[in-house]
């Protein structure tokens, strides 16, 4: 097996020997949970564009990764924050991504795809009117539905900046949901993922915010498939899950506690819409197949070593987690480079990547140790570690 000299958080360099891949089986049965992976985008490193200013996408590699997820039985949540939406991926490029993914999904029997509709074509401002926020949502929803897509109604920076009270949130969601053709997934993203969303639903206190959100869900339940919450607080998710209107799903977005939330308890369980499922897709697929076969022990045995990996990828500042997701795709051969939209590959340290590499190996998620070792050695060399 390959051995590399990897840096640690204390600055020491220590040898690390890779183990073998876990060899997860392809799913042989239908899952009994809805499982969506929020998918990343592959940048085009050869595009003659300034990466901080313009998004350059390798469309073939990006769509190939979606096919990889569908093959494993996972659905795709498209053009979400994992794809760097609002952090390098603008609305026109996001719409092209959605168009291409919808077209690709038509070739995959049973492929599930939902796409993010937000308000990121307008800049957040306290001077913006609520009617303008509604119009921005309407524009994106209409564009996705025209393409034949299903909608994830993303949290809006513009609404967070301009709302004066919880009533503004209720008004916006009622207006937008009243017009959609099919049931949508609501997305409540915590400010640890996006600081611009602090105070969403009109309250900084999460319990008060949850009351507003639950009122919105109850008033519009006929138009809602489910809600994804990304608060990294399992107790709040469980409390909210138990109060959802009948027929409205809870999609966990908790990248710290997903295993136990998906497994559930006597009162119910969460489905999944997770960025970490992009990085751990083979393990997630195998675990969900085991759960569908009523083998909870195997489900937890597969996912348990992925949780430390996920907690490392999503450590504070959590908004930089996309870098770890793309790193995993690169070392596993799903893309030929470690370059990101907006230059986001620079947001984590080499010590962070070294620990990520160790944790991925322990979880059995390095598919080809020789390839991964070569690529990690290249990254180390760029940082002066040989």
**Where do the domains of the chain lie, and which CATH numbers do they carry?**
32-318 (3.20.20.70)
- Answer for the pair 321, 255: CB distance below 8 angstroms, yes or no: yes
For residue 352, what pLDDT is reported?
Answer: 96
Distance CA 286, CA 375 (A): 26
CA angle 223, 227, 229 (to 5 degrees): 160
Give the integer Cα–Cα distance in Å for 340 and 361.
23
What does the pLDDT read at residue 160?
Answer: 96
Mean pLDDT by runs of 10 across the 386 residues of the chain is 88 90 84 98 93 91 98 98 94 97 96 98 92 98 98 97 97 98 96 93 96 98 97 95 97 97 96 98 97 96 98 96 98 97 95 97 96 97 91
Check if the beta carbon of residue 277 is closer than 8 Å to that of residue 38: yes
Q: Given the structure tokens 């891949």, which residue do they identify?
A: 21
- Which alpha helices (DSSP H) does 178-295 contain, by range? 206-219, 234-241, 258-263, 276-279, 281-292
What's the pTM? Answer: 0.95
pLDDT of residue 386: 82
Distance CA 327, CA 349 (A): 12
pLDDT recorded at residue 80: 97
Position 27 scores a pLDDT of 84
pLDDT at res. 217: 98
Angle at 276 between CA 176 and CA 322, to 5 degrees: 80
């Amino acid at each position: 097996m390959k051995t590399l000299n990897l840096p640690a958080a204390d600055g020491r360099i220590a040898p690390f020997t890779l183990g073998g891949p876990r060899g997860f089986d392809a799913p042989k049965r239908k899952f009994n949970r809805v499982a969506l992976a929020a998918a990343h985008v592959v940048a085009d490193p050869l595009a003659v564009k300034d990466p901080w200013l313009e998004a350059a996408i390798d469309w073939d590699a990006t769509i190939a990764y979606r096919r990889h997820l569908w093959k494993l039985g996972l659905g795709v949540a498209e053009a979400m924050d994992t794809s760097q939406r609002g952090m390098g991926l603008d609305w026109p490029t996001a719409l092209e991504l959605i168009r291409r993914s919808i077209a690709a999904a038509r070739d995959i029997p049973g492929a599930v795809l939902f796409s993010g509709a937000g308000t990121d074509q307008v800049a957040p401002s306290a001077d913006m009117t609520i009617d303008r926020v509604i119009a921005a949502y309407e524009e994106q929803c209409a564009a996705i539905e025209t393409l034949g897509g299903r909608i994830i109604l993303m949290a809006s920076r513009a609404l967070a900046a301009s709302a004066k009270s919880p009533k503004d949130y209720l008004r916006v969601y009622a207006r937008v949901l009243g017009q959609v053709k099919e049931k949508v997934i609501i997305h409540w993203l915590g400010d640890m993922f996006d600081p611009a969303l602090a105070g969403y639903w009109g309250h900084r206190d999460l319990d008060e915010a949850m009351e507003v959100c639950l009122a919105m869900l109850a008033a519009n339940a006929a138009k809602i498939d489910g809600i994804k919450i990304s608060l990294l607080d399992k107790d709040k998710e469980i409390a909210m899950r138990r109060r959802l209107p009948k027929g409205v799903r809870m999609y966990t977005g908790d990248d710290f506690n997903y295993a136990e939330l998906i497994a559930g308890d006597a009162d119910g369980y969460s489905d999944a819409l997770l960025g970490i499922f992009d990085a751990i897709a083979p393990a997630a697929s195998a675990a969900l197949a085991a759960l569908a076969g009523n083998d909870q022990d195997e489900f937890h045995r597969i996912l348990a070593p992925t949780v430390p990996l996920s907690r490392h990828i999503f450590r504070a500042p959590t908004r930089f987690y996309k870098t770890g997701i793309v790193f995993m795709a690169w070392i596993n051969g799903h893309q030929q480079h470690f370059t990101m939209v907006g230059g986001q590959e620079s947001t984590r340290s080499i010590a962070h990547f070294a620990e990520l590499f160790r944790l991925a190996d322990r979880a059995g998620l390095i598919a080809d140790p020789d390839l991964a070792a070569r690529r990690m050695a290249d990254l180390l060399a760029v940082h002066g570690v040989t």
